[in-house]
Amino acid sequence: MSITQRYAVIGNPIAHSRSPEIHAAFAQQFNIDLSYERILAPLGGFSDCVKEMRAVGFLGANVTVPFKLDAFAYADERSSAAQWAGAANTLVLGDRVLADNTDGFGIVRDIIHNLNTPLSGRRILLLGAGGAARGTLQALLLQKPKMIVVKNRSLDKAQAWLKDVQRTADFAEVLGDAHLMVRAWDDDAMDDFDVVINATASGLGDFFAPPSGVCFADKALAYDMMYGKVTPFLQWAIDNHALTADGWGMLVEQAAKSFSIWHGVTPDTSTLIANPPYKGA
């Protein structure tokens, strides 16, 4: 008789999370006896929550807002991806705790594999300098783009982030020949971009003030990390004749990477990606 393996996603709020359904679908592919729960941790109570989970035999956890920084700090070991992000969305729980960040893998896999959009040699605009943006920069740079421009409403915040990144041990190796720069949101220096990624929370509202100086190249892709509706960012991109995608594929692919870290096998993601839960809604 198999022993049920226990995993969870930790957040606050957490009731909306699709992670249990995604991981249940992955487990079915390999006949893994898996329990995957939503855990609502109290603000300020992340460490105690994980301690209790370890005590009752949980083997791993995904971590969502607002605890990704807490997860990074809690761990005994941190992957390169987690170090670049300064945050973790995946924990391996054992005698020691390993922190990883699969967000960058998720978005790159979705863009290249599912959306058939190459990133090598491309001009990328990354909107935002918060946790979502930080989780993706290393993975984007590893694809050897021509340049990445970060635009943020707070230029000081973006510049401070860039200084942090430049202190990362493998920064020069990861950067390669790419040009990495930050610009103010209203900087009107004009550039054509092949890929524009929205890592801001603008999708939660009904208004998006486009950054200055942005032109979409021919057949450019506009990618919003939010999913479930046509956000104001995506509508702006549509109005400018760009191709568009939301973050459902990123969510599924980052979950698949977490699953692979925990179980040593890589699930097929195509069925889940082709059938988002909001399709037809």
pLDDT per residue as tens digits for the range 173-186: 999 999 999 999 99
pTM of the shown model: 0.95
What would the pLDDT profile of 95-137 be if each residue is shown by its tens digit? 999 999 999 999 999 999 999 999 999 999 999 999 899 999 9
Half-sphere exposure of 271 (CA within 13 A, CB side): 8
**Alpha-carbon span 201 to 218, nearest angstrom:** 26
User: Is 74 annotated for ligand binding?
Assistant: no
Q: How far apart are CA 205 and CA 177, in angstroms?
A: 37
- Specify the pLDDT at position 141: 99
Would residue 68 show up in a list of annotated catalytic residues for this protein? yes
Residue 281 pLDDT: 42
269 is in an annotated binding site: no
| Coil, strand or helix at 182 | strand
Task: Classify domain 104-247 at the CATH class level.
Answer: alpha beta
Query: What average pLDDT does range 182-206 have in this prediction?
Result: 91
Q: Of 68, 146, 229, 279, which one is the catalytic site residue?
A: 68
CATH of span 5-101? 3.40.50.10860
Cα(125)–Cα(130) distance, rounded to whole angstroms? 15
Domain limits, CATH 3.40.50.10860, in the chain: 5-101
Grade residue 205 by pLDDT with cuts at 50, 70 and 90: confident
| Residue 264 annotated as lining a ligand binding site | no
The reply, when asked if residue 226 is annotated as ligand binding, is no
Among residues 182, 184, 232, which one has the least CA distance to residue 211? 184
